Structure 1
């Protein structure tokens, strides 16, 4: 028995990593918009809006997709209880699914076997070539940056490990991120990276283009293509290598004397972060938060702390340090400068190239409304996020380590050394943390740690000691 595509999608979507409604029954799934994509086998070409045409780079031709293959771009609505969310899909249809696509099968329909076509390198080239061409396909608008030259010959590969989006890597040149859950409006990542690119920022991956459509009456970003950095190293992985080197060194060896010492990189990262904040302050409006609003901020932190204690009673014995930090913040009697910031800043959001630290993922928290993700905030929030990330890098390896107790002082040493190096680099780059800024930093760190306590208690109980440790440390 064949099912409708909607019926098949309702069963399939709940098993996708990027689906935000897990654990709740789907009351209704409907296709809001569907755009057939014209499949073709373009010659390997280099597109440039400077030249106004495409040029063949060699005689190699990508084999065209079979005539019996079709692809549709879908925007679907999913209603669960009182909430309705939108998602975008690239659905392919074939009379038979080859072995390489059976793991992304959706089911059999009147049009053939449906599957998640982002995994089909034979058809995804239409996305890159349409961006290069600046094409309009139905309600989809493909756009490229002024002057961008895009080689449309590379085949795509889905990047693994993402939770809320799907990224296609084309060769070693481009990465195209599809925002699976759609929020009407321009995505902050496109907005921020484009503005920074115009100002020649060295701390971003070069943007190439994007896909947009009208969703709920608003121009909405569907995907964003940037430079892929195949030789860059992930900041989290680099930090963990350093921590492992320290843990594997003889007892008594100082973190500064271990071959994998990370402090110099933390200093450079601090400088890059300060420069990024300066670039954001010139690209977007800035403002101030007055003392009465600072007090309300402190009270908000306190309410969230109490909510965390109610859910995780273990936190109660550690909460005094947070209350003291929030009291000090409430006493701040001068305005705090606010601006556009990253908003979700940690070691997993940065990559080290041969010459520079590159900052990624400016979209903010995917689950938050766009208005909140675009809101002005203190740059100290990004600093607090990175400092918490250093603590996680130092301590998460201890969660199941047989020598965890004896290694805890080394973890504290590594975290303290790299936190200090980051702050020193941030100050050297022009982003000073002193006086009331230090008070704000401490409050933001502990507020974030309270959030982490809830998260770890729900998802990774063995990691709970990591955020709890933040409340027992001195104001560093």
Structure 2
């Protein structure tokens, strides 16, 4: 049994007595909490490490907490700070006031808002510390300057990030799974290939096996902070507001995507899609469609056309398509352009809702391309002031064409020539979007539904 498990067993009863009544209302309110809408029956402590003693002016506990929700429980990374009272600047970080257990009488808060705990994390990475079950590791060829001023980024949704002095950004994964996180694995592989399109990891945090018989957790990655960059989503909206054209940027973004795909194919194995892989691919798309139709009745009228897009994949000859490691959740917000016009890609974690093993599987590159094409569509419908549907469709179509053309300039293959596979992945993405919008943003449901109309219309 690992040291982290031993310590968790020792501390779980006491710490959970202090934290359980505070976490129950606080955790579901967090943007990165994945279990919204499901009953929360309690918590168990997977691992606990004391980084600053609770008896001091500021206490700091690093916790891996499993939230029990049927049909499964997710594990979350928490950095819990304790003080006698919070200064006004930390009021937004308040979790609650402990009344029992070892933290009784203390104010409990999300420590990532506090510069002192953030300093502790950076110093541990800088010194390659080993604290309890935590391992702070870094590239031995990269030094980290001490004394960088931290600030919590407000941009994250599924994770949390701390920026250190405009030099580094530390992404801390909130919902975690045992195994290698692609957001560390793929940038490291790309760095070995000399890719300049993706920031190379400077340091990272992992655990020993935190649960008996399990794999280690990757908890966070420190990367260079890209100064002066603007994400693709903001640039696309700005282009519409100012001049309307985004095709030059879309073409360069296609080239950047192709550069990353090419480097990943060199760095990691590729596979040929045989009969079993194609069958699994089609079955997954059909299954997601069936679930979506049950959840959103408005899809029922389109079901035959949607199913036809997936059924067409059965006509692909086995052995004629390849799969490789890809980004996995590519859209305009994951792309950054610097003042020179160079694009970089970030956030290789994949779709956090999918199992880690699935996110690490080789996929056809058109899955990334389909995600970006759908992102252009969303940007077109987000113009302010709003534009007519025909104008939005024309803007998105021009961006789509330019992006695919830029991709072809690097790879020699235009994604549009593999129309059956590209259409299937675009359709699968649009079906996912319909369900998401119906549940979370009903006012946006028309955007993916218009794509469904286009994708199911006769050519």
Pairing partner for 1:331 from 292, 310, 315? 315
**What does 1:154-193 align with in structure 2 at a 5 Å threshold?**
154-193=148-187
Q: Is the 8 A contact 1:321 1:472 kept in 2?
A: no
Output the aligned Cα RMSD. 2.4
Pairing partner for 1:393 from 379, 387, 404? 379
The residue aligned with 2:4 is none
The residue aligned with 2:328 is 343
Pairing partner for 2:408 from 411, 427, 445? 427
**What does 1:371-410 align with in structure 2 at a 5 Å threshold?**
371-397=357-383, 407-410=388-391
Q: Is the 8 A contact 2:254 2:403 kept in 1?
A: yes
Query: Given the alignment of the two structures, is residue 87 of structure 1 paired with residue 76 of structure 2, yes or no?
Result: yes
Aligned residue pairs, count:
432
Structure 2 vs 1, CA of residues 80 and 147 (structure 1 numbering), >3 Å: closer, same or farther? same
Q: CA deviation at 1:326?
A: 2.7
Q: CA deviation at 1:310?
A: 3.2
Counterparts of 2:276 and 2:71, CA distance in 1: 36
Q: Is the 8 A contact 1:318 1:468 kept in 2?
A: no
The residue aligned with 2:5 is none
Structure 2 vs 1, CA of residues 427 and 122 (structure 1 numbering), >3 Å: closer, same or farther? same
Query: Which of the pair is proportionally richer in strand?
Result: 1
Counterparts of 1:435 and 1:101, CA distance in 2: 51
Pairing partner for 2:36 from 17, 22, 34? 22
Counterparts of 1:164 and 1:434, CA distance in 2: 30
Q: CA deviation at 1:23?
A: 2.4
Q: CA deviation at 1:320?
A: 4.8
User: What secondary structure sits across from 2:282 in the alignment?
Assistant: helix
Counterparts of 1:184 and 1:323, CA distance in 2: 35
Q: CA deviation at 1:437?
A: 2.1
User: What secondary structure sits across from 1:231 in the alignment?
Assistant: coil
The residue aligned with 2:9 is none
The residue aligned with 2:3 is none
**What does 1:67-466 align with in structure 2 at a 5 Å threshold?**
67-109=56-98, 110=104, 112-214=106-208, 215-216=210-211, 217-245=214-242, 259-291=243-275, 293-335=277-319, 336-355=321-340, 356-397=342-383, 407-430=388-411, 432-433=413-414, 437-466=418-447
Q: CA deviation at 1:475?
A: 8.3
The residue aligned with 2:45 is 31
Task: After superposing the two structures, state which structure 1 stretch, 131-140 or 465-474, moved more.
Answer: 465-474
Counterparts of 1:310 and 1:22, CA distance in 2: 20
Task: After superposing the two structures, state which structure 1 stretch, 311-320 or 438-447, moved more.
Answer: 311-320
Structure 2 vs 1, CA of residues 16 and 266 (structure 1 numbering), >3 Å: closer, same or farther? same
Q: CA deviation at 1:11?
A: 3.0
Q: CA deviation at 1:292?
A: 5.5
Structure 2 vs 1, CA of residues 293 and 186 (structure 1 numbering), >3 Å: closer, same or farther? closer
Q: CA deviation at 1:309?
A: 2.8
Q: CA deviation at 1:434?
A: 5.7
The residue aligned with 2:18 is 4
Structure 2 vs 1, CA of residues 431 and 357 (structure 1 numbering), >3 Å: closer, same or farther? farther
Q: CA deviation at 1:20?
A: 1.7
Counterparts of 2:391 and 2:20, CA distance in 1: 54
Structure 2 vs 1, CA of residues 321 and 91 (structure 1 numbering), >3 Å: closer, same or farther? same
Q: CA deviation at 1:219?
A: 1.8
Counterparts of 1:72 and 1:219, CA distance in 2: 19
Structure 2 vs 1, CA of residues 450 and 147 (structure 1 numbering), >3 Å: closer, same or farther? same
Q: CA deviation at 1:332?
A: 1.4
Counterparts of 1:205 and 1:123, CA distance in 2: 25
Counterparts of 1:218 and 1:300, CA distance in 2: 27
User: What secondary structure sits across from 1:124 in the alignment?
Assistant: helix
Structure 2 vs 1, CA of residues 94 and 299 (structure 1 numbering), >3 Å: closer, same or farther? closer
Q: CA deviation at 1:207?
A: 1.4
Q: CA deviation at 1:260?
A: 5.0
Q: Is the 8 A contact 2:313 2:421 kept in 1?
A: yes
The residue aligned with 1:53 is none
Q: Is the 8 A contact 2:254 2:404 kept in 1?
A: yes
Query: Which of the pair is proportionally richer in helix?
Result: 2
Structure 2 vs 1, CA of residues 396 and 330 (structure 1 numbering), >3 Å: closer, same or farther? farther
Q: Is the 8 A contact 1:90 1:117 kept in 2?
A: yes
Structure 2 vs 1, CA of residues 66 and 75 (structure 1 numbering), >3 Å: closer, same or farther? closer
Q: CA deviation at 1:165?
A: 0.9
Deviations 1:277-298 (A, max 9, x none): 0100111111011246425533
Q: CA deviation at 1:334?
A: 4.1
Q: Is the 8 A contact 1:442 1:475 kept in 2?
A: no
Taking structure 2 as the reference length, the TM-score comes to 0.88
Q: CA deviation at 1:16?
A: 1.7
Taking structure 1 as the reference length, the TM-score comes to 0.85
- Runs of 5+ unmatched residues, structure 1: 40-64, 246-258
The residue aligned with 2:449 is 468
